[in-house]
Amino acid sequence: MIKYKSTRGSLQEKNGAQAIIKGIAEDKGLYVPQRFPQLPCALSELIGSDYRQVAFRVLGLFLTDYPQEDLKRCIDSAYDSKFEAPEIAPLVKGGDAYFLELYHGRTAAFKDMALSILPYLLTTAMKNEKEESRIVILTATSGDTGKAALEGFADVPGTEIIVFYPNEGVSQVQERQMVTQEGKNTHVYAIRGNFDDAQTGVKQIFNDQAYAEELAAKGMKLSSANSINIGRLVPQVAYYVWAYVKLLEKGVLKEGEPMNVVVPTGNFGNILAAWYAKQIGVPVDRFICASNENKVLTDFINTGVYDIRREFHLTNSPSMDILISSNLERLLYHLSGNDGAEIASLMASLEKEKRYEVNEKIRAGLASFYGGFATEAETKKAIGDMYRENGYLMDTHTAVAYKVYEDYRKESGDETPAVIASTASAYKFADSVAEAIGLPEFADGFAYISALNAKTGVRVPRGLAGLEHKKVLHTGVYDKEELLDAVRNALQ
Ligand SMILES: *Cc1c(COP(=O)(O)O)cnc(C)c1O
C-alpha cells in the first residue's frame, strides 16, 4: 500500500484517492509517496505493449487503493481517440535526439497527458471515498494547464472548474482556447498580473480556512488541477517508462543501459515525473532541466540557492514564465530523506526572504541534474536550424530544451541517448515558430497557423482549427488581489 504525506511534516496520511481529492495538504505542503514502489518486471517485457498497458502498470504501482478495474476504466477512457496519434505519445527522431511528442491530445500541449485522466481519477476517488461535496477545481495557468483542465472537467458531474490566467503572458492561441470553452461548470478569468501572482492567489484561497467553511456550508470543497495535485504527477511518470521501452524496441538501448532526459521546465512537474520514473526502476542517468530567461532553476542547480528576487521576463515560451516552481518542493523533500521540518523551513524562507539555500545532503542529491537556459533568440535559432537541417518542427518550449541539450553535450561530451520532452504543438505558438523559420509577418495572429501549415505541411491539431471563429464565452478580468471575489462570483 502506498501512502501519501505532506512535504511539510504534517503526520496525516492519505491514500491515493484522498490525496487526489484534497489536492494540497492542510499545512500547505504537497502530497508525496512515502516510499517508491518498484516495477515488477524487466522493462523489455513491456516491449509491444500499447500506451494504455504501460500506463496501467505504472498507475497501479502508485495508486494501490484504486481497484484494478477502476484504474483500467480511467485509463481506457482517457487515452483513446481524442489523441490524434494512435501511439498516444510517439517517440520521434529529430536530428540527434529523440522527441517524446506529448502534445497529441485535445489541447495540443503535454498537459493533456495528465489532465485527460485526472477527472476520471477524481470522480472515481469521490465514488470510492463516498465524497458527497461538489468539488471545485481551482487552477492557475501559465497558458496550457488551463485549457487542458477545462477540456478535462467540462460538464463532469459533481465538479466546477475555475481557471485564472495572466492577462498578459499567454499566447493569442492559448487565450482564445480558454475563453471559448463551453460547458456549464466552466469559469475562466484573466487576472492583472503574471503566473506567479495567479498561483500565489490560488494557494491563498486554498489556505483560507474561513472560506473553506463558507464553501462547506454550500456542500462544496476545493481541489486542484495544477501539478501540485499528485493525480497530475503520477500519470506523467508513465510516459517516461514508455519512452524507455520505445528505445529498447528501436534497438537504441539494451535493457539496463541508461538514457538521459531533457525537459523544458516551468513548475518542475514534468521533470519530477522523470525523476519518479527513475525511482521506480527506469535507468535514467542525467536530468537536463531547461529554462528560458526566467532561469531560477538553472541558478539553483548550479549553486544550491533558490532566489526569486529578480526580474520576471515575458518570453516566447510563456508556459515556462515562472519563478516559483512548486514541484521542486517534492524533490527537495525526497532528497532530504523525507525531512518535513527542513522543507517547511525552506518554504517559510522562500515566502519571507524570497530565497533559500539547501543543505549539503540535498545539494548532493542534485548531482544528477544539469541546469541550463536559452534566450528568446537562441530559442528561435534552434527552431530554424532544426527545421532547415532535419525538417523537424519544434515549438518554442521544446526548442528551449533542445538548445540546452546541445549545450550539455558540448560541455560534457556525454553521448548517452537522450529523450527530449516535446511539450507543445508548434501551432500553439505559431507566430514565434513562423518567424523562426523565416515566414513573413501577419497582422492577425491566427494567420500564422495557416501560413505555417502551408509551408511545412505539418497537420494542424483538431482543437486549433477554426479557433478564431469560435464564440468568446468568458470575459471576466480581475485584479490579482481579487481572486476570491471571482471564485465567489463563479459559484453563486
Ligand atoms: C506546462 C508546460 C511546460 C512546463 O512544465 P512543468 O511541468 O510546469 O515544468 C513546458 N512546456 C509547455 C508547452 C507547457 O505547457
User: Is the CB of residue 338 less than 8 Å from the CB of residue 35?
Assistant: no
Residues 272-330 have pLDDT tens digits of 999 999 999 999 999 999 999 999 999 999 999 999 999 999 999 999 999 999 999 99
Q: Hey, which of 100, 423, 425 would you mutate to test ligand 1's pocket, going by the most ligand atoms within 8 Å of its Cβ? A: 423
Task: Write down the residue that cell numbers 494547464 correspond to.
Answer: 145
Cα–Cα distance, 428 to 460 (Å, whole number): 10
pLDDT at 143: 87
Residues 174-220 have pLDDT tens digits of 999 999 999 999 999 999 999 889 989 998 999 899 999 999 999 99
Residues with Cβ within 8 Å of residue 17, at least 6 apart in sequence: 63, 65, 66, 124, 125, 128, 129
pLDDT at 301: 98
Q: Give percent of the chain with pLDDT exceeding 70.
A: 100
Q: What's the 45 CA to ligand 1 centre distance in angstroms?
A: 31
Across the range 429-449, mean pLDDT stands at 93
Ligand 1 atom closest to the CA of 103, numbered from 1: 13
Q: Does residue 387 surpass a pLDDT of 90? A: yes
Confidence of residue 444 (pLDDT cuts 50, 70, 90): confident
Q: Residue 301: give its domain's CATH number.
A: 3.40.50.1100
Q: In this structure, is residue 421 part of a structural domain? A: yes
318 lines ligand 1 (CB under 6 A): no
Q: In this structure, is residue 14 part of a structural domain? A: no
Q: Does residue 117 surpass a pLDDT of 90? A: yes
Q: In this structure, is residue 416 part of a structural domain? A: yes
One-letter amino acid at 151 equals E
pLDDT at 443: 85
Confidence of residue 340 (pLDDT cuts 50, 70, 90): very high
Q: In this structure, is residue 59 part of a structural domain? A: no
Q: Does residue 345 surpass a pLDDT of 90? A: yes
pTM of the model: 0.96
Cα–Cα distance, 77 to 117 (Å, whole number): 8
pLDDT at 390: 97
pLDDT at 109: 96
Q: In this structure, is residue 439 part of a structural domain? A: yes
266 lines ligand 1 (CB under 6 A): yes
Confidence of residue 168 (pLDDT cuts 50, 70, 90): confident
Number of domains forming the structure of the chain: 1
Q: In this structure, is residue 339 part of a structural domain? A: yes
Phi, psi of 187 (to 5 degrees): -140, 125
Residues 47-80 have pLDDT tens digits of 999 999 999 999 999 999 999 999 999 999 999 9
Phi, psi of 217 (to 5 degrees): -65, -25
Cα–Cα distance, 329 to 30 (Å, whole number): 8
Would you state the cell numbers that stand for residue 4, as one nine-digit string? 501519501
User: Is the CB of residue 33 less than 8 Å from the CB of residue 59?
Assistant: no
Cα–Cα distance, 428 to 464 (Å, whole number): 8
- Among protein residues, the one with the nearest Cα to ligand 1's atom 2 is 319
Confidence of residue 424 (pLDDT cuts 50, 70, 90): very high
The parent domain of residue 368 ranges over 91-108+231-461
Q: In this structure, is residue 113 part of a structural domain? A: no
Cα–Cα distance, 162 to 490 (Å, whole number): 8
Q: What's the 381 CA to ligand 1 centre distance in angstroms?
A: 20
Alpha-carbon Rg for the chain in angstroms: 21
Q: Does residue 111 surpass a pLDDT of 90? A: yes
pLDDT at 122: 95
Q: In this structure, is residue 101 part of a structural domain? A: yes
- Among protein residues, the one with the nearest Cα to ligand 1's atom 15 is 144
